[in-house]
Structure 1
């Protein structure tokens, strides 16, 4: 029996434009009521932890969710702006029944989102999300409790300190960041206080960027999706490393001392190689998505390790890791999941693993963080209307012909976006000219069948 399709929930919670359904107060209220009813089971006092990033709309969604949970008899612990991994951690450590993060990650301030974590700190399953959606579509009066059983709300003042200490504990004992100058770009987001604090307390000279949120400037020309300014500051300040987090600090991009960008694939390779040498890497494999470069796959294979691929989304990476007992996985975009330290992506803790290798090897980041030569890779988006052009036999034949032509020299990845009417056409191979020819030919074949002008 298949699980019914989810309408509100995507691969990473619910997301949309702030103050428009589903990111409005009315929907947030019903979500709190439905999730409250789903998790308000048993005789113990039920508790939910709610965190957020720095978007202005968080002030609208947070009280709406709080009202929904309180109305179902759940106590609410408000922790304010904190990274997504901190909410997952606190949900477990406080023995809460549910964790909520209000954030649209790397999106601009106009958007917002809501992510839910179970008592184990893991993102909810498809079945749980379907159950909540079904309740939201029905009569929720049965979820509401009598006045004497209403929940209470409280604010947890030491929540940032708890996460700071947990992050510091992930850094190897006996090592220090003294004599390192680090530029950290917090994207005016959830980590704007905790990330510079962690680095400073571990001994680094810290140059903070993106630490003045005003409700509107989150991810605006800063953070992991816009590392250009960070690269300039790293060069200007002669820093040893630049760290770029996104709005909720669950993803990471690095910049070496020369200003060159280091993506998630290189970070995965560095951590995997280090952990494998220390016999800390479990499962004999690293889990990544279909977008990861073949260069990473070859690097791991040379060390007797495998690369297991999943659909795009750190949620799928985490699920595969748990199935196979792996403790390292991530995405090219910078999500790094390290189950030794947490249950979801954590940009700051991933950065600390890289810094540990920098300290141990005593070499510059431009040498330490370049673990493999990436194959040329190109991605083109093709818009369409109506039925997916991928169902057209002519398109399927064209794709098959190019896959056969590339053979072991490269690969083709064609997939439909899960959030918009777009076909993503990606190819990678040893020769850049071959990559460009493959992508352009396939994109044009799809455009012709999609009847959408170039």
Structure 2
């Protein structure tokens, strides 16, 4: 059946628009039914970020899961990777994260993890959707078999200890002044404490969530506040998480932003030097800068590319045996430690390299010169502009002009009627001209 609710990262939409109490209730019932395997007492862990609508969705999910006989362990505000880790650690049958990641507060979402702590397959999501759209009345648990709900208080310490154990036992960050931006999100408690326990002098911003301010002018999607704070307090480095802390960006001591491509290069080189880099390469999406690919190639390392989305990166990593992957946006997946992107764990790996090399973050984190990259979005009303003869000719002409000096990427958005045109190459003027030519052709076809 066609997927009605699940996108590339769970179910997401406006609270009390797409994400209603009724939908959350039905998701809890359906997922609970799908994951009741065997005759043991089944349980699910539920975490959330700091959005006001999280209370509503959490309670509706609890009602759904308990109605079909699953016990519920409530974690409260916790990062998405912490929920994944605790799902496996607590031997749960299912994990749920209530979050819309980097979106504003009036959106929310439901992400599901299996007992192996990985996001669900398309097949499992389709089975859950089929139940959501059907009649589950006859599948409810008998009164004596209904589930219970319990709030777990020790989870913050467990996740902090897990994050710290991704570093060598004797690792210390004594002497490092770090500005940490928690995006008023899910990591506002655990991330500052973890850095403090490791010896950092921590200056924290974005750590006062009020239900409405998640990602608002803070976090990895709005790093300007962090850049200013790093310069103000003369910090050694800045760390920007997003609302559910599964992505991270870095700001160096000069206040300059370091994106996910540079961070992947830092981690890949460090792992390679230590003999820990699997397959002598990493996985990134088609959006990662060509400069990263060339830099890795100069080190004898490969870069495998996937479609946009950390889900596709992880699938490729699992299938082909890579242990480092990520996106330019800051999703870094280090599969030796996590089954999903983990902003805190990735930040700790970068801090370890900075501390070990005893060089400024601006030197350590600037691994290559990115090629000029131009991205344009063209909105259309209907039809298939990319199949138009004029557009196809413009694309062919653009690729011929770039030849081996760059690349062109044209793709429809998966969430809105937009064609994304991205070009990059050694010559910015040439890239601008090539992209503008394609954009003009798409615009004519879409008119």
TM-score band w.r.t. shorter chain: over 0.9
Structure 2 equivalent of residue 167 of structure 1: 163
* Aligned equivalents of 2:384, 2:264: Cα separation in 1: 34
Deviation per CA, 1:5-45, whole angstroms, max 9, x where unpaired?
32211111110001112x01000000111111110121011
Which of residues 7, 11, 15 is equivalent to 1:14?
Answer: 11
Alignment of 1:188-203 (within 5 A): 188-203=184-199
Measured after TM superposition, the shift of residue 446 of structure 1 is: 0.5
Measured after TM superposition, the shift of residue 120 of structure 1 is: 0.4
Alignment of 1:113-124 (within 5 A): 113-124=109-120
* Aligned equivalents of 2:87, 2:143: Cα separation in 1: 26
Unaligned 5+ residue runs, structure 1?
A: none
Q: Is the partner of 2:239 in helix, strand or coil?
A: strand
Kindly indicate whether the alpha-carbon contact (under 8 Å) linking 1:98 and 1:118 is maintained by their aligned counterparts in 2: yes
Which of residues 48, 51, 58 is equivalent to 2:54?
Answer: 58
Q: Is the partner of 1:190 in helix, strand or coil?
A: coil
RMSD: 0.8
Deviation per CA, 1:363-392, whole angstroms, max 9, x where unpaired?
000000000110000111111011121121
Deviation per CA, 1:341-374, whole angstroms, max 9, x where unpaired?
1100001100000000001100000000000110
Deviation per CA, 1:107-145, whole angstroms, max 9, x where unpaired?
000100110000000000111111111111111113311
Measured after TM superposition, the shift of residue 224 of structure 1 is: 0.1
Alignment of 1:94-109 (within 5 A): 94-109=90-105
Kindly indicate whether the alpha-carbon contact (under 8 Å) linking 1:272 and 1:281 is maintained by their aligned counterparts in 2: yes
* Aligned equivalents of 1:6, 1:306: Cα separation in 2: 35
Q: Is the partner of 2:404 in helix, strand or coil?
A: helix
Measured after TM superposition, the shift of residue 173 of structure 1 is: 2.5
Measured after TM superposition, the shift of residue 317 of structure 1 is: 0.5
1:431 partnered with 2:427: yes
Structure 1 equivalent of residue 301 of structure 2: 305
* Aligned equivalents of 2:298, 2:63: Cα separation in 1: 54
Q: Is the partner of 1:378 in helix, strand or coil?
A: strand
Structure 1 equivalent of residue 80 of structure 2: 84
1:5 partnered with 2:5: no
* Aligned equivalents of 2:417, 2:132: Cα separation in 1: 26
Structure 1 equivalent of residue 240 of structure 2: 244
Q: Is the partner of 1:300 in helix, strand or coil?
A: helix
* Aligned equivalents of 1:282, 1:5: Cα separation in 2: 37
Give the TM-score taking structure 1 as reference length.
0.98
1:407 partnered with 2:403: yes
Which of residues 144, 149, 174 is equivalent to 2:145?
Answer: 149
* Aligned equivalents of 1:268, 1:252: Cα separation in 2: 11
Alignment of 1:129-144 (within 5 A): 129-144=125-140
Kindly indicate whether the alpha-carbon contact (under 8 Å) linking 1:175 and 1:359 is maintained by their aligned counterparts in 2: no
Measured after TM superposition, the shift of residue 158 of structure 1 is: 0.3
Q: Is the partner of 1:408 in helix, strand or coil?
A: coil
* Count of aligned positions: 447
Which of residues 197, 210, 215 is equivalent to 2:211?
Answer: 215
Kindly indicate whether the alpha-carbon contact (under 8 Å) linking 1:34 and 1:143 is maintained by their aligned counterparts in 2: no
Give the TM-score taking structure 2 as reference length.
0.99
Measured after TM superposition, the shift of residue 440 of structure 1 is: 1.2
Structure 2 equivalent of residue 296 of structure 1: 292
1:316 partnered with 2:309: no
Kindly indicate whether the alpha-carbon contact (under 8 Å) linking 1:172 and 1:356 is maintained by their aligned counterparts in 2: no
1:353 partnered with 2:369: no
* Aligned equivalents of 2:389, 2:122: Cα separation in 1: 32
* Aligned equivalents of 2:275, 2:258: Cα separation in 1: 25
* Aligned equivalents of 2:279, 2:98: Cα separation in 1: 33
Kindly indicate whether the alpha-carbon contact (under 8 Å) linking 2:245 and 2:344 is maintained by their aligned counterparts in 1: yes
Structure 2 equivalent of residue 364 of structure 1: 360
* Aligned equivalents of 2:199, 2:238: Cα separation in 1: 16
Measured after TM superposition, the shift of residue 306 of structure 1 is: 0.7
